[in-house]
Each structure stands twice: as C-alpha cells, then as structure tokens.
Chain A
C-alpha cells in the first residue's frame, strides 16, 4: 500500500538518509536481525549533531518536497493525540521530546533526536557500529538495540530482548573460548548476562578470562540477579553462593 501520490515510507526514509546519516532501529531493525514479528512503523535515529537545527534540516527539506506529509508531536497521556507541528517547530520539539513522527505515508516514521538510554553524543559510536542496510540507511547493531530497549516495560520489547540477547550470546560463545583477557574485558564491558559469564567460567581456556567472568557474575549477584546467584552455586556447590575460590 502506498501513501498519497505514490510516495512510500521507504522513499521518505531514502530521502532522509540521503540528507543526513540515518540509523534504522526499533521493530524494523529487529526484523532485519532475524526475528519475524509485526511492526507498525519505522524508527530511525537521524544524525543529531552538531545541534537540533541540523538534525531537523533533513526533515524540513522532506516536508517541503512532500507537502502532504505531516510532522507530529508525540501523544501525551492526557490527550492520547499526536499534535501536528510546523516545520519551524521540529528542532525544538525533537530536542524536547527526543523525537517527532512523520505521518501521511503508508507507514508512519518516528524520527529520533535522542532515543531512550542514549545521549546525542552517542550517535557517532552507534553509527560506527551499525552496518550498511537498505535505501542508504544503516542497521543499528544488536547490543545498541538492546540498550534502547533496556528499561522499557513493553511486552513486545521483552520478546525483542529475548531474541537479541540469544543472538549476542551465540556470538559471544564462539569468541569467549579462546579470546584474550583484553578482548573479553571489552566484550563484558558492552554486554554480559549471567549465562554468558558462567559459560566463560566453564569454557574459557584463559585463566584471566575465567576470573573476569567470575567477577562479572558476582557483580550481578550483588545487584540481586537470581540467575547469577544460582549459577554461582551450581559452578561450585561448596561455595553456597560465596564465590569460586579456585578462580579468585
């Protein structure tokens, strides 16, 4: 299905990506990482640097080229309505709400200035870690996607987190068996689950990696993670959750 005048959301995304660096995130990105699920819109993080006006410039240009499109401000709980905004308001609204919605296409596009859990200054790193994708967009990397979903309490995000976590754990398992301490450190600094830390304790050939994994697992236990507590007990039943003496 196409929007007015045959312009699709895909065309609009291509236009935006030709004007400013754009990273695809949200449900569409999760689908491209391999999870079959529904989504109702596109989410992109448009380069927010060096300021909101620069971020908004590509959107303003798009609105001028396709006047049937409408920029909207996120619905508030009180009204439940997305409020139409003018081109001159986009920069201010983006910087205040973190995003604006583009309506009038077959699929709405949510354009982010600052996604959940990220700062504007994180864009460069996110861009570097993303990979080339369709229509000039880049696909947000799995761990960065997880970060955006870390503190949301939406049912759909739980499924995404389960899927993405599983994929990252699979990649980590392949690397952790014989990686260096430095590599493991960098990996754990970005991503760690109790299961992956326990895997490294069991499987790593490097004593220092095993010790690092144990410290990570103990940190999780201290934070109250029940899986970490159980895994420490399983790894050394004698420790009764006090840690693995042999790896200290």
Chain B
C-alpha cells in the first residue's frame, strides 16, 4: 500500500516538475551578509568615537521630505519618480552644487 502511494506521489511530482507547476519546496532565506554587517558595525563605532564625550542633543529633527508620489502603483509612476530625481540632480549640478 505504502509502495503504491509512494509511486503515485513520485509520478505526480515528476509530472508537475515537467510542467513547471510544482512550487519550489525550499524558499531562499534572507540573512544580512556578515561582511556588510561588519562594515556597518565599524562605521557605527567610528561615529561613536567621533562623538565621544559630546552630549547628545535632545532635539530630534524628524524627516520632512515629501515623496514624489505618495503610493506609486504604475510603471508611469516609476518613470516619473526616477526622471524627477534625475532632473533635480541635474539642476543642482548645473547650479554648481
């Protein structure tokens, strides 16, 4: 009985593999790259050393930037955002920034 079931399962898997309908059993996991983590950690240490002894300001300025498009949904939105940033960067460069 078990052999028959195993055979059926194998046939099903082979069939699905061939037609490409089987969902990949293993999902690729994401873990931060250790070398990149070390780079970020050493950057943080560098900033901490630079700040050593200096009191931390109690004033925290929140982000005041406005998005080009609040909730981009379309490819037109993508191109508008990308082009707008590129154009603005060019303007700054032209103005000697």
Contacts and interface: CB of A to CB of B under 8 A. Distances in A.
The yes or no verdict on A and B being binding partners is yes
Interface of A: 9-10, 13, 27-28, 31-32, 34, 36-40, 42, 47, 49-50, 107, 117-119, 121-125, 128, 133-135, 137, 143-144, 146-147, 150-151, 158, 161, 165, 189-194, 220, 223-227, 230
B27 A125 contact: yes
A122 B25 CA distance: 8
Contact of A151 (B21, B33, B81): B33
A226 B40 CA distance: 9
Interface in B4-38: 18-24, 27-34, 36-38
A10 B77 CA distance: 11
Contacts of B22: 121, 124
B73 interface: yes
Nearest to B86: A38
A247 to B, nearest CB: 21
Contacts of B76: 10, 134
B16 to A, nearest CB: 9
Contacts, number: 112
Interface residues of B, number: 36
A121 B19 CA distance: 11
Nearest to B21: A124
B78 A39 contact: yes
B75 A190 contact: no
B23 A190 contact: no
Nearest to A10: B75
A31 B30 contact: no
Contacts of A151: 33
Contacts of B78: 28, 31-32, 39
A226 B33 CA distance: 11
Nearest to A142: B30
A134 B73 contact: yes
A31 B68 CA distance: 11
Contacts of A50: 18-20
